[in-house]
Amino acid sequence: MSKANYVIGVDYGTDSVRSVLVDTANGKEISASVFLYPRWQKGLYCKPAVNQFRQHPLDYIEGLEHTIKDCLTKAGGAEIASLVRGISIDTTGSSPVAVDAAGTPLALTPGFEENPNAMFVLWKDHTAVKEAAEINEHATRFETNYLKYVGGIYSSEWFWAKLLRTLRVDQSIRNSAQSWVEHCDWIPFLLCGGKDVTSMKRSRCAAGHKALWAEEFNGLPPEDFFSSLDPLLTGFRDKLFNDTDTSDVAAGTLCEEWANKLGLSTDVVIGVGAFDAHMGAVGGQIEPYYLSKVMGTSTCDILVAPNQDLDGKLINGICGQVNGSVIPGMAGLEAGQSAFGDVYAWFKNLISWPLNHLLTESALIDEATAIALKEELEAKIIASLSKQAEALDDDDYAELAVDWLNGRRTPDANQELKGAITGLGLGTDAPRFFRALAAATCFGAKAIVDRFKEQGVPVKGIIGIGGVAKKSAYIMQMMSDVLEMPIRIHRFEHTCALGAAMFAAVAAGIYPNIEEAMQAMGTGFEKEYKPNVKKQKLYRQHYQQYLGLGRYLEKYSKKDVKPYLS
């Protein structure tokens, strides 16, 4: 009887990292572990008021070791560990960091330990808005359109804008940085024991969607594109890469140091990394022309299509189309919303102000009881709001919101935009406010679907994965109603990690390609939401109002245009 084969998928999210140990025969989860980033939980190195969000590499390293060891312990220890064949990882993105010649993030080197500019610049960091605008303007001066494969608009969430911003504001980083590396490229390099950044394998997914890499350009845009943008970038292109790899490729094998830490063999294959939503789409069993929506703090929407179907077709205003970024041999198209779950979390935090600031000062209860009461109530807020919002009469629906609380990712990236809500009255209570916010996030999703359709890319249905998709029936039903199409919810809890595990199985040679891994390891769907035709007229009207309010906000977001106030 043949031995079982196991793989580990590691999914780095915004707030935590999770690892899953998976049986390659059927995709069954053997064990799972989640680790909250301790420094991030304390709010260290972040300044939300100026859109600065940084993460220390130690959070990533500690989480990697803890979750993998915990998975193996839960599964049975050394016996199971001996059967692990591969590890692959996914991360948020674009979340790059400055590194030295050895590929070590500068925050792990002397003198930079507490410098936020030496840490990973998280995807949601928008401090590079000015630099992104400069890149967009600069690109118009070239005969070749170097933005053609990223939807025509470069975002402050991405690789080059963040690099230029960092070089401009921090001379110490300027003097020490030998390269600029995505999180999804660094973790495999770390596990393989890499010591030379020039040997680091770079993800096709990350490079194509965020760093302007394209097959047509034979790699990155030429040196003069960057040096003429800002002299600080002179020579930096040569410190980066020309070649990229898809995630079915092995980055190497587990180095002795990490093998000893984790209790695994040095024969364990480490796969090339990718972004969370792209591997999540694979874990969620994506099909051509089905939109996979990873719904968490933000959304990342992924669609795959045969390359020949998109021959000569460029989709404007999305986050890129890249051959092999999701499934090798197919075009991967990315879109998304800059804030989704973050919108609900913002509102929860807003209405929790008395709990957060006054409860512990109460003279009626002791501090321990106050803390326990706060945690109990906070855990119930969103669920209770959803229940009460769902019970509201559709005829009493004055409030209307726009979901750009963290800017707009798609369609047409603009991180300077702000959210808004109108129609407030003395009858507006928390459930009505929440309903408007929930509808806004669903309307934002519809704007993305409509953009694909307008550009000649059909969307046959929606695959929902992530925390919001599995936990909020209220929002998922509303989204189905707004989109007027069914939404299938994937069964697996940690779908991005499952996708990483599937790629690990291919990189390790257990399956010849990702399609066969998906077929064998896919766990299917647990639920399907179908649109309520009775809501169709209501949401069509509200969607048009959402678009109108959005146009107004966009018009008056321009610095040279001021609204008239009587």
Residue 564 pLDDT exceeds 50: no
Per residue in 384-414, pLDDT tens?
999 999 999 988 889 999 999 999 999 998 9
Contact between 179 and 103 (Cβ < 8 Å): yes
The whole-number average pLDDT for the span 69-98 is 96
Structure tokens at 182: 């995505």
* 487 three-class SS: strand
The average confidence (pLDDT) of the chain is 95
- Is the pTM higher than 0.85? The answer reads yes
Question: Measuring CA to CA, how many Å separate 334 from each of 59, 303, 353, 417?
Answer: 27, 7, 36, 20
The whole-number average pLDDT for the span 4-8 is 95
The whole-number average pLDDT for the span 544-548 is 97
Strands 299-306 and 525-529: unpaired
**What's residue 2's pLDDT?**
53
Strands 330-337 and 299-306: antiparallel
Per residue in 487-496, pLDDT tens?
999 999 899 9
Integer-rounded Cα radius of gyration of the chain: 23
Give the residues across from 10 on adjacent strands. Answer: 19, 89
Question: Measuring CA to CA, how many Å separate 150 from each of 185, 317, 528?
Answer: 20, 8, 32
Residue 422: φ, ψ to 5°: -125, 175
Residue 375 has a CB neighbour count (10 Å cut-off) of: 10
* 393 three-class SS: coil
What confidence tier does 77 reach under pLDDT thresholds 50, 70, 90? confident
CA 337 – CA 445 distance, rounded (Å): 7
CA 496 – CA 91 distance, rounded (Å): 9
**What's residue 556's pLDDT?**
84
Contact between 511 and 486 (Cβ < 8 Å): no
Q: How far apart are the first and last CA of the chain?
A: 82
Contact between 514 and 86 (Cβ < 8 Å): no
How much of the chain, in percent, has pLDDT values that exceed 90? 90
CA 174 – CA 166 distance, rounded (Å): 8
Contact between 22 and 500 (Cβ < 8 Å): no
Give the residues across from 331 on adjacent strands. Answer: 305, 323
Residue type at 92? T
Per residue in 429-446, pLDDT tens?
999 999 999 999 999 999
Question: Measuring CA to CA, how many Å separate 555 from each of 548, 552, 561, 563?
Answer: 11, 5, 7, 9
Residue 223 has a CB neighbour count (10 Å cut-off) of: 14
Q: Which residues contact 274 (CB under 8 A, 6 or more apart)?
A: 90, 184, 203, 204, 205, 206, 247, 325, 500, 503
The sign one gets for the Cα dihedral 260, 261, 263, 265 is: negative
Going through 250-407 in order, the beta strands assigned E by DSSP cover: 250-253, 269-271, 274-275, 290-295, 299-306, 321-323, 330-337, 400-402
Structure tokens at 61: 């390293």
* 191 three-class SS: helix
The whole-number average pLDDT for the span 202-213 is 98
